Amino acid sequence: MKYRHLFFDLDHTLWDFDANAMETLADVYKELDLQAAGVNDFDLFCKHYLHHNAILWDRYHHGYISADDLKWKRMWRTLLEFKNGSEELARKMSGYFLEVLPTKQNLFPYTHEILRHLKEKEYKLHLITNGFEKTQWRKLDNSKLGSYFEEVITSERSNSVKPNKEIFEYALHITGAQVHESIMIGDNLDADIQGAINAGMDSIFVNHIKSDLKGVQPTYVIHHLQELETIFE
């Protein structure tokens, strides 16, 4: 067994953030009556949200903004697209969104099957996530994923964020893993793959959307979680 400790990302790798976010945005749109606030196109609202969310998560990964700024400003920037600059409404949207989002349960195909398979093979499974501690645990509990993982390392717990090598070093320390027997599995070329490279760890790029590698060199590339069975036989 070349690898013993498998470190997974959660959002966009196992837990389908975009599908769950779309359902939650529908709840936000209805509950807070955003149409009355000038947000008159739900599909466009979702498109703008996902755009600004991606930009601000990237800025958070690199330490340019705080977690609080990320949480409410993605909503505020989305509202601005509809000529509404209300910080009060944006913060209400953020609070409601973060309350409802972790209750959603959409996972990528074969998530439970592959995690069960790897546990049966006696691999030690862990999570390294930039998500927020309380939110990530609620996602894990509601989607019944928590029992698969021995350690869940969040940015809040480690006081660092991917792609900084410190969060990976913290994860190795907490789990008692050696870097040569560990591998990172995630969807984000910067946070997960370059982060693993920064820490001297092998990596698997879960390329669900068949994006360009942009010069980053993961150890493996897969397009479906079932392909992990060929790596971890």
Q: Delineate the domains of the chain, giving CATH numbers in brackets.
A: 5-16+107-232 (3.40.50.1000), 17-103 (1.10.150.240)
pLDDT classification of 67: cutoffs 50, 70, 90: confident
Q: What tens digit of pLDDT does each residue of 7-54 get?
A: 999 999 999 999 999 999 999 999 999 999 999 999 999 999 999 999
Is the pLDDT at 222 greater than 90? The verdict is yes
Task: Express each pLDDT in 88-103 by its tens digit.
Answer: 999 999 999 999 999 9
> Is the separation of the CB atoms in 221 and 210 below 8 Å?
no
- The catalytic position among 9, 16, 187, 202 is 9
Dihedral sign, CA of 17, 19, 23, 25?
Answer: positive
Q: Which of the residues 11, 16, 187, 202 is marked catalytic?
A: 11
- What is the Cα–Cα distance from 97 to 43, expressed in whole angstroms? 17
* Of 121, 115, 124, 176, nearest in space to 7 by CA: 124
Catalytic residue list contains 9:
yes
* Least-confidence region, from 60-74, 111-125, 180-194: 60-74
Q: Is 58 a catalytic residue?
A: no
pLDDT digits (tens, 9 = 90+) for 53-62: 999 988 988 8
